[in-house]
Amino acid sequence: MNSEINDGGPAFPTIMPGFAKEGMSLRAYIATQAMHAIMTNCVEESARRILEKMCVENETLPSKQIAKMAAEQADALINELNKPVTQTKP
């Protein structure tokens, strides 16, 4: 079984003659976007209470819980994007 995480490849590759830079992974980019959304939504009282409850249940700090949630969102999106596309009838 392969335990390596599929990071989706480079999000912003740069290729020029004599220079190649992969940039951040797609997984990291999606995770940063998800993390931003999660943190922004935590200003609402109900979202903050849910996050605090999750932290108590998982014995983690809010920052670690947010990072975990963001990585899970990135992994879910990459997995979904890797599924074959099926044509639907109009």
Condensed to tens digits (0 to 9), the pLDDT of residues 27-81 reads 888 888 887 887 777 667 777 787 788 888 888 888 888 888 888 888 888 888 7
Q: What is the pLDDT of residue 11?
A: 76
Residue scoring higher pLDDT (77 or 3): 77
Q: Are 29 and 14 in contact (CB under 8 A)?
A: no
Q: What is the pLDDT of residue 43?
A: 64
Average pLDDT along the chain? 78
User: How does DSSP classify residue 11?
Assistant: S
Q: What is the pLDDT of residue 70?
A: 83
Q: What is the pLDDT of residue 84?
A: 80
3-class SS at 30? helix
